[in-house]
């Protein structure tokens, strides 16, 4: 089924000034449930074949079709023409208020309105896309601001710890600097080493250290110098040990210190 519309230039100008809805004239006539009919339309004649309330096939003629044309129309619509020997009389029907196929009071859309709706739809989609991007940007900025606040709070909480760490590092650096001023091994460490090697009842009475020389007087019941020299034989820190009795239970012991323990050598 095909329909053709023809507009003259004058009609086009009139259409530009006012809105019109265009539709086939066939839709203005009351439909059939099932059957065949020949209608007299505004210009010419139209044959219709209805099946199950649906227009299955139709054809237009400028004049009343002859029997051969009518039979051809019926065959084209899938009907048997064996018993058809005449053309039915054309029927003249009044136009209906609502075209068939339209729901009463329903919403109808013409091409111009459909185009406007399409443009509005595109604009709406673009607006939604831009809005979504804007909302994403706002959420991102909000997240960045919140993260900045949390970071600043963490920095404030960590500030005392950072200050304590900095003070500890400065103190360690100062200790290291002071330690560097101590040449060789300290006298206290040497005293511990000496007393650990001496006989059990020995105790230091005096102490003197000069460069790589060390002199000490030890009080002990032992009077044999060998008892004071022999324990230092295996020591790597003390060498050339000399023990000299001083009388009254005293023993002068002289050592030579290893080069790394001598005064003026920084360990």
Confidence of residue 10 (pLDDT cuts 50, 70, 90): low
Q: What is the mean pLDDT of residues 182-187?
A: 68
Q: Let me know: does 232 contact 225? Beta carbons within 8 Å.
A: no
**Token pair 């003629």: residue:** 61
Q: What is the pLDDT of the chain when averaged over all its residues?
A: 81
pLDDT digits (tens, 9 = 90+) for 83-128: 888 888 888 888 888 887 765 555 556 667 888 899 999 999 999 9
Average pLDDT in the 22-26 region? 78
Q: Could you read off the pLDDT of 130-165 as tens digits, one per residue? A: 999 999 999 999 999 888 888 888 888 888 888 888
Predicted TM-score (pTM) of this structure: 0.35
pLDDT at position 106: 53
Average pLDDT over residues 37-46: 88
The length of the chain in residues reads 267
Q: What is the residue whose two structure tokens read 């185009």?
A: 115
Residues 241-265: what's their mean pLDDT? 76
- pLDDT score of 140: 92
Could you tell me which residue, 220 or 125, shows the higher pLDDT?
125
% pLDDT > 90, the chain: 10
- Tokens read off for 109: 């859309």
Whether the Cβ atoms of residue 100 and residue 108 lie closer than 8 Å to each other: no
HSE-up of 187 (CA within 13 Å, CB side)? 11
Report the candidate in 187, 235, 185, 181 with the shortest Cα–Cα distance to residue 209. Answer: 187
pLDDT in tens, 185-212: 777 888 888 888 888 888 888 888 887 7
| Alpha-carbon distances, residue 178 vs 112, 125, 170, 182 (angstroms) | 95, 75, 12, 7
Task: Measure Cα distances from 161 to 151, 153, 155, 157, 174 in Å.
Answer: 15, 14, 10, 8, 20
Residues near 204 by Cβ (< 8 Å), separated by ≥ 6?
191, 194, 195, 216, 217, 218, 219
The dihedral sign for the CA sequence 196, 200, 203, 209: negative
């Amino acid at each position: 089924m095909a329909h053709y519309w023809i507009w003259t230039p004058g009609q086009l100008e009139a259409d530009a000034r006012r809105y019109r809805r265009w539709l086939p004239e066939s839709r203005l006539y009351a439909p059939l449930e099932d059957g065949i009919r020949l209608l007299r339309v505004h210009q010419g004649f139209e044959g219709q074949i209805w099946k199950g309330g649906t227009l299955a096939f139709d054809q237009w003629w400028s004049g009343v079709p002859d029997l051969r044309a009518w039979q051809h129309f019926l065959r084209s619509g899938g009907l048997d023409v064996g018993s058809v020997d005449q053309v039915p009389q054309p029927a003249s029907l009044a136009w209906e208020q609502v075209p068939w196929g339209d729901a009463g009071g329903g919403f109808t859309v013409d091409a111009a309105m459909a185009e406007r709706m399409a443009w509005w739809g595109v604009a709406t989609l673009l607006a939604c896309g831009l809005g979504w991007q804007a909302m994403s940007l706002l959420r991102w900025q909000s997240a960045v601001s919140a993260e900045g606040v949390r970071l600043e709070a963490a920095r404030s909480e960590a500030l005392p710890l950072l200050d304590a760490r900095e003070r500890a590092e400065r103190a360690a650096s100062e200790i290291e600097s002071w330690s560097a001023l101590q040449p060789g091994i300290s006298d206290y460490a040497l005293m511990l080493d000496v007393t650990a090697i001496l006989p059990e009842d020995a105790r230091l009475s005096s102490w003197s250290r000069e460069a790589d020389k060390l002199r000490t007087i030890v009080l002990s019941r032992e009077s044999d110098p060998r008892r004071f020299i022999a324990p230092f034989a295996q020591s790597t820190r003390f060498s050339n040990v000399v023990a000299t009795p001083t009388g009254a239970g005293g023993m002068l012991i002289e050592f030579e210190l290893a080069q790394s323990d001598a005064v003026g050598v920084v360990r």
